Chain A
Amino acid sequence: MESLDTKPARKPAEYRSDVTQIWCPGCGDYHVLMSFTRAFAALGLPPEEIVVVSGIGCSSRIPAYTNCYGFHGVHGRSLALAAGLKVTRPELTVVVASGDGDGYSIGGNHFLHACRRNIDMTYVVMDNRVYGMTKGQPSPTTEPDFDTALSPGGTGLRPFHPLVIALASGANFVARAFSGAPNETADILVEAIRHPGFSFVEILSPCVTFRPDEKEWKNLVHPAPVAPTSDPAKAARRIMTDDGFNIGILYRGDREPYQPAIGPARIDVSELEKDFEL
C-alpha cells in the first residue's frame, strides 16, 4: 500500500462544507465523509477540481457535506450522470457516491454498464444492507431472513455479490472497506482514485437506526488474507468464497480506460453542410 509519508499540502477540513449533516449519530457515513476528506487531502487536489456525484438515499447526501462541486441527482442514475460529466471534462476527478439501494437496485443496470465502459472514475457504495432513508426495507444485499415491514420474515432471496458483478462487468479496480477504519478507507480511496479506469469501492457502513446488529461489524471485519490479484477470475473466486468481511484492495486490473478524444473542432461547422449540398 502506498504510504502517505509526504506531507499533504492540504488539510481534510478544507474539503468539508458547513452544511449540517442529517445522518443519525452513530452512522457509518460520518466516517466515510472523514475518509473522503482525508483522501482528497492526501491527493492534494484543489476542491474545485473534484466533483462528487450521488443519487438518492442517506449515502447520497454526502456531496453537500463536502466543499467540492457536487451533484445530488435522481435515484439510481448517478453513474450515468458522472459518465457524461467525466467524458466531457476528463481533467476533473469524479467520485460517485451511492448506497446499496440506489446503487444495486434501481441503479443496477447502470452499475453493469459503468463497469463495462470503464470510464476513469471512482464509485463508492456505502453498503448498510438496508434502505435507510425510506425506513428499513430490504436491499439487494440484505440477508434473506432479515425481517422487515415490507417483507415479513425476510425476503428469502439470496443477496447480490456486487463485487463479483463488478468484476464480471469489467471494473478495473475492486476493493472492500469498512467505515469504522477511516484511515484505512482513506488509503483505499486514494488508490482507487489514482487507479485508471472504473474503480469500485464497497464500504461496509453500519446503519445505527435500522441495523443496530451491524454494530458487530467492527468485530467481524478483517484484512483480506492475500495481496490483490490482477486476474479477475481469481479475484471473483476469492470473493465468492469469503465471508463478506475481507477488507482491502481485492483486484487491480489493467484495462485501458474509456475516454473518447474530445477537444476543439477539427473543421468549421459550415463544412458539415457538404453532406447535404446538391
Chain B
Amino acid sequence: MSNANAPKISSVTDLYAVAYGIEAAAVERYELLAAQMEAHNNPDLVVIFLDLARAEGIHRDEIARLAEEADVDVLAHAPRVGKWPKGESAEEVDAGAAHYLMTPWHALELALGGEERALDFFSSVAASAKDPKVKKLAEDFMEEEAEHVNLVHRLMRRYPAPAEAWGHDLDGPVAQD
C-alpha cells in the first residue's frame, strides 16, 4: 500500500480527480466492510463502518462541489487519472486486515492507516508541485487529511485497546460445503 506508484498529477484537474477517486474508493470500501460485519454478526462494527463511510462521503461530495466551482468534472476525469496500477489507492482501507471479531479500535486503526496514507500522498504532491495552483490545492487537501488523522486519533481514545484474547472464539470454524 505505498504511494510509489501514484498517478502523475500535472494539473488542478488531475488533483481534484485523484482526490475524488481516493474518497469515493474509501466510501465503497467502508460500505463493503459494513456489509461483511452485518453478515458476520458484529453490529458495533456495522455502525462504525457506516459512520466512516458517511464521513468519507461528505468529504467526497465536498471535493466534487469544489471541483465544480473550479469547472472540473471529476466524474469524467476520475477514472482516467485516478488509477493506481499496483496496490491500492492512498486512502483505500486494507480489507485484508478485517476480522469477524474485530473491535471498534481495530476499525479505527484501519481508518487511521488510510488517512495517513492519503496525507502522505497529498504532502508529496504539495512538495513536488511546480504549478502554484496545484501546490495550494494539495496543501488544502493536506490540511483536511491532517484534521481527519487527528479526528481518528481522538475517536480511538474513546475505545479501549483490544484485550489479548479479542480474537478468540470458543467455537471452531464450520465447514459449509
Direct contact of A and B (CB under 8 A): yes
A residues contacting B by CB (< 8 A) are 1, 4-5, 7-8, 20-22, 24-26, 28, 30-31, 56-57, 60, 133-136, 179-184, 187, 206, 208-210, 215, 218, 223
Q: List 21 A-B contacts (CB under 8 A).
A: A1-B85, A8-B79, A20-B35, A21-B35, A22-B39, A24-B40, A24-B99, A25-B37, A25-B40, A25-B99, A26-B100, A28-B96, A31-B95, A56-B177, A134-B175, A180-B94, A183-B83, A183-B85, A208-B98, A218-B1, A223-B86
Q: Of residues A57, A134, A223, which shows the largest number of chain B Cβ atoms within 10 Å of its Cβ?
A: A134
Q: Which residues of A contact B170 (CB under 8 A)?
A: none
Distance in angstroms from A251 CB to nearest chain B CB is 20
Contacts of B172 in A (CB 8 A): 135
B105 touches A (CB below 8 Å): no
User: Does the CB pair A7–B76 fall under 8 Å?
Assistant: yes
Indicate if the CB atoms of A22 and B37 lie closer than 8 Å.
Answer: no
**Which 7 interchain pairs have the tightest Cβ spacing?**
A25-B98, A25-B36, A26-B98, A133-B177, A20-B39, A25-B100, A184-B86
Other-chain contact of A7, B33, B79, B176 (Cβ < 8 Å): B79
User: With an 8 A cutoff between CB atoms, is B97 at the interface?
Assistant: yes
In terms of DSSP, what is the predominant structure of the interface of chain A? loop
A107 → chain B, closest Cβ, in Å? 14
Are A133 and B98 also in contact (CB < 8 A) when A30-B32, A183-B88 are?
Answer: no
Interface size class of B (residues with CB under 8 A): 20 to 34
Enumerate chain B residues within 8 angstroms of A187, measured Cβ to Cβ. 85
State the CA gap A180–B88 with chains docked (Å). Answer: 8
Given contacts A21-B36, A30-B32, A183-B88, contact A5 B175 (CB under 8 A): no
B97, closest chain A residue (CB) = A26
B160 at the interface (CB under 8 A from A): no
A184 with B87: CB separation less than 8 A: yes
Q: Are B175 and A135 in contact (CB under 8 A)?
A: yes
Task: Return the contact of B100 from the options A20, A24, A179, A215 (Cβ within 8 A).
Answer: A24
Contacts A21-B36, A25-B40, A26-B97; is A133 near B175 (CB within 8 Å)? Answer: yes
Rounded to whole angstroms, the CA-CA distance of A4 and B81 in the bound complex is 10
Residues of B within 8 A of A60 (CB): 177
How many angstroms between the C-alpha atoms of A181 and B176 in the bound complex?
A: 28
Residue of B nearest to A247 (CB): B86
A5 — which chain B residues lie within 8 A by C-beta? 80
Q: Is the CB of B87 within 8 A of A183?
A: yes
| Interchain CA distance A153-B33 in the complex, whole Å | 36
Bound-state Cα–Cα, A274 to B1, Å: 69
Mark interface residues in B26-46 (1 if CB within 8 Å of A CB, else 0): 000000110111011000000
Contacts of B85 in A (CB 8 A): 1, 183-184, 187
Contact present for B99 and A26 (CB under 8 Å) = yes
Contact of A180 with B96 in the complex, beta carbons under 8 Å:
yes
Q: Are A22 and B102 in contact, CB atoms less than 8 angstroms apart?
A: no
Distance of A28 Cα from B33 Cα, bound (Å): 13
